[in-house]
Amino acid sequence: MRLLTTTLLLFFTFLSAFAQHSIKGKITDSENLALPYANIILYKVGSDADPKGTVSNDEGEYSFENIAAGTYRIEISMLGFATEKIKEFTLANNKTLNVVLKEESQTLNEVVVKSKRPVIKQTAEKLIVDLEKSEMINTNLQDVMRKIPGVLVTNNGITIAGNSGVRILINNKTTEYMDIQTLLRDFPADNIAKIEVVEQPGAEYDASGTGAIINIILKKNVRLGTHGSVNAWVGEDEGFEYGTGASIASYKNKLNWQTSINHSRPTWRDDLFLVRTVGAETYDQVTREPYDPVNYSFSGNVDYYINDKHSFGIGGRLNNRNSQRTSASTTFISDATNREVLLSENSFDRERVDYNINPYYEYNTDSERLIADFNYINFRNDNTNVLSDVVGSTVPFDNRRYIQDGKYTIRTYRADYSKTISENFKLSLGSKYASVSTDNDLQSFVENISGGFDFLEDQSSRFLIDETIFALYSKVNATFGKWSFSGGLRYEDSNTEGTSRFMDNNMLVEEVQKRPIQKLFPSASISRKLTENLGASLSYSYRIQRPSYNSLNSFETFLDPFSAGQGNPNLRPAFTNNYQFNLTFDGQPFFTVGYSKTNNVIFQLIQQDNATAQIRQREVNVEDNTNWNFRLFAPLNLIKGLEGYTGVIVTNTDFQSSTYNLDLNKWNLVWFVQASYQLPWDINFELSGSYGTGALEGQIDVDWLANLDFSFGKKFMDDKLRANLGFNKMLNRGFVGTIDYGNGNASVESNGSRQNIQLRLTYSFGSQFGKKKKSRRNSSREEEDRINDNN
């Protein structure tokens, strides 16, 4: 009997030791709201075994299954809440532990380390500028762009390594701003998380473009609850200017939404001074062109998280721009004995409206990611301009009116998949299909003797485009010790059909041009860590530049009585081979050599007809274009409190064409500085400046250039209110150079307004707590770039 009792006791003790139990519960806040994605860690007391961990689901519930009997303790943590520690307990059967987390407003301040300047990292494919951990008090996108090493921002746009063919994306999507000035000056900097300067785009990007891609990645709504900001700015440029905006975002449980609205009325001007000879006569022209567009924009998106792996949502935007302005031209025409004056005005009335709808779906795990989306874009551009003489003009001409209406519809379907096979190997692949329809209608009129306008049927036309683009790509990323490799291949099959309808000798003529293109676009990069601090990389990409939709239109519109712009339906795509070598120091850009060769580059050709004294500007294909660039960067940390970059950029640009008798070659050097310094009373001072020895801007041989901007920023009210006073274009020398027409020369100066002053205030409100959520990567929209409407 004693033996049986002892045996049964040992048996039940054995069963008890190996019994499997569960621990379950729910995580909530002080208001009894479920907290998803909380981290729960289970430790076994007195054991060296690894702890077990799990994450609460969308209802805040968690569970540990098949847990052996014993003594345990639990820790629950979540960003924005104090960590809760459950004291030791004995597990002998199933147990339920519900936990209430307390909010901790100081959590973010304790763990986030701030610096004055952004974190900058150079990889083989791109330069990454992370702004989320910086304390810079910026006014707009223009200020941020000036802090990126090697990116130069001037009145005439953005250049990188001497190349102005820069594509700008926002969350991998093209922006529909009407001009580069509006984009740079209106876009609020506090919405930007980081900026990627992609000089060697991989296979996941559309193959279009010969220059770099600037991808602006916006901040995600990672805060629990509701928060937002309002901003307002006023300034003085070519007159009083102002803008206002507001944004709000909310994230609670499964639903996340964001929306923003902006209104602005900036001012600036572009002046042209042109002196040219036509035979024995000299034409001295001065054109002053002010801008004061009215811009409205609205955007929003909603995301719904089905669970921690699946989510879907829909986003959209609406942009409206109205511009009514008048440019005035004065041209003195003189020879050895006579002098006449031509006075003209060109009034513009332009309205642009575009909107898009973008539904999407995402599947995301630790090792896999699938994103599928559809983007619908509708764009309308209605233009009317009247070219007329002014009292006092001694050169007669017929007043003209042009009505040009354009409609664009773009549908894009895209899917991207990536699989992380191991820490050292990742595979990506995807597909895209785009359908584009455009309809441009130009109506030309001439003034009659009664003051009205008669329709010119033989100078009017209609141009339609139907285009499809199908693409497939695959890409691998691999790491082998100190070596890293990235290689991809993209296939694009595009079919473009352009139809031009016009009257010729009272007969309706319809001309159709078809352009099918099937092409493979490889890209690759390899990098190695040479020493503890020094790294090197070599990269290559093959790209295509398709003509903008407007440039294919054979329309001819007069800017003034002696100059006109004209389309070219015979334009062909340009293909570019890009090579780049980088040296980095502690991951920062240090030294770069780049080389590109483009066949049939799309070139802005300016020609003069000496018989009529007319100037025509149109895009043509030039046979060969090469570009060398050498860049040397150095951080600015010579004294305490000073941060930034300085460097030099040396470029050589060469255009060769026997068709158009072009032989253009020029070296130039640019020195730049981008710096910030902490002044007394926590005032942040920022400065950017550059000096260049000259450059080739297409056909224009430009003389020296210079630019200087600076600003003062400060935070108030526990950092909720930010103020910035900016002084832009304090030293701004525009394009001053010469043009060689082949049958004559001209001196040209293209200059803008100077001494822009702008004050911006931004107030943030709402929840200060944070929680990470997964986010999707939007697809790029190469077709939108080709609208190319700079009104």
- Burial class of 349 by CB neighbour count within 10 A (0 to 12, 13 to 18, 19+): middle
Cβ atoms < 10 Å from Cβ of 215: 22
pLDDT of 516 above 70: yes
Query: What pLDDT sits at residue 186?
Result: 66
Under the banding of pLDDT at 50, 70 and 90, the label for residue 109 is: very low
Looking at per-residue pLDDT, the higher value among 38 and 464 belongs to 464
Going from the C-alpha of 757 to that of each of 262, 439, 691, 723, 760, the distances in angstroms are 20, 41, 21, 14, 10
pLDDT of 510 above 60: yes
Query: What pLDDT sits at residue 17?
Result: 43
Matching residue, tokens 């609406």: 318
Instruction: Outline where 743-791 has alpha helix (H).
Output: 782-785
Matching residue, tokens 């920022």: 686
Residues 647-672: what's their mean pLDDT? 90
pLDDT of 740 above 50: yes
The residue type at 781: R
Contact assessment for residue 638 and residue 142, using Cβ atoms and an 8 Å cutoff: no
Under the banding of pLDDT at 50, 70 and 90, the label for residue 102 is: confident
The residue type at 119: V
pLDDT of 8 above 70: no
Query: What pLDDT sits at residue 372?
Result: 94
Matching residue, tokens 């090493």: 149
- 615 token code pair: 């100037």
Residues 104-125: what's their mean pLDDT? 54
pLDDT in tens, 327-339: 999 999 998 888 9
Query: What pLDDT sits at residue 506?
Result: 81
Can you point out the beta strands (E) in 199-293? 213-218, 225-236, 240-252, 255-265, 268-278, 281-291
Query: What pLDDT sits at residue 138?
Result: 58
Nearest to 560 by CA among 739, 293, 327, 334: 327
Q: Residue 682 in 3-state DSSP? A: helix
Cα 413 from chain centroid?
Answer: 20
Q: How far apart are CA 48 and CA 65, in angstroms?
A: 20
Going from the C-alpha of 193 to that of each of 13, 141, 215, 541, 778, the distances in angstroms are 58, 12, 11, 27, 15
Under the banding of pLDDT at 50, 70 and 90, the label for residue 113 is: very low
Superfamily of domain 16-108: Immunoglobulins (2.60.40.10)
| Lowest-confidence region among 106-115, 262-271, 765-774 | 106-115
pLDDT in tens, 229-246: 898 999 998 889 999 989
Q: How far apart are CA 253 and CA 543, in angstroms?
A: 43
Contact assessment for residue 27 and residue 35, using Cβ atoms and an 8 Å cutoff: yes
Residues 98-105: what's their mean pLDDT? 77
Going from the C-alpha of 249 to that of each of 221, 222, 226, 299, 303, the distances in angstroms are 6, 9, 6, 12, 11
Under the banding of pLDDT at 50, 70 and 90, the label for residue 690 is: confident
Query: What pLDDT sits at residue 774?
Result: 42
Residues 766-791: what's their mean pLDDT? 48
Under the banding of pLDDT at 50, 70 and 90, the label for residue 183 is: low
| Lowest-confidence region among 346-355, 597-606, 635-644 | 635-644
Instruction: Outline where 582-702 has alpha helix (H).
Output: none
CA-based R_g, the chain, Å: 31
Q: Residue 689 in 3-state DSSP? A: strand
Contact assessment for residue 789 and residue 442, using Cβ atoms and an 8 Å cutoff: no
Residue 142: its H or E element: helix 141-145
Question: Regarding beta strands 683-692 and 614-635, do their DSSP bridges make them parallel or antiparallel, or are they unpaired?
Answer: unpaired
Nearest to 759 by CA among 712, 717, 720, 698: 712
In sequence order, what are the beta bridge partners of 143?
A: none
Cα 354 from chain centroid?
Answer: 18
| Lowest-confidence region among 135-144, 387-396, 546-555 | 135-144
Residues 734-738: what's their mean pLDDT? 82
Under the banding of pLDDT at 50, 70 and 90, the label for residue 174 is: low
Query: What pLDDT sits at residue 428?
Result: 94
pLDDT of 413 above 80: yes
| Lowest-confidence region among 218-222, 367-371, 458-462, 678-682 | 218-222
Phi, psi of 35 (to 5 degrees): -115, 100
Nearest to 785 by CA among 170, 371, 357: 170
Q: How far apart are CA 210 and CA 541, in angstroms?
A: 10
Q: How far apart are CA 58 and CA 701, in angstroms?
A: 63
- 206 token code pair: 């559309």
Q: Residue 613 in 3-state DSSP? A: coil
Query: What pLDDT sits at residue 158?
Result: 75
- Averaged confidence pLDDT in the chain: 82
pLDDT in tens, 19-53: 578 899 998 887 788 887 788 888 888 765 667 87
Going from the C-alpha of 755 to that of each of 143, 281, 707, 733, the distances in angstroms are 15, 36, 11, 12
Q: Domain-by-domain residue ranges, the chain?
A: 16-108, 119-785
In sequence order, what are the beta bridge partners of 255?
A: 252, 304
pLDDT of 411 above 50: yes
Q: State whether CATH 1.10.10.10 applies to domain 119-785.
A: no
Residue 11: its H or E element: helix 2-18
pTM (global) more than 0.85:
no
Under the banding of pLDDT at 50, 70 and 90, the label for residue 701 is: confident
Under the banding of pLDDT at 50, 70 and 90, the label for residue 615 is: confident
Contact assessment for residue 42 and residue 22, using Cβ atoms and an 8 Å cutoff: no
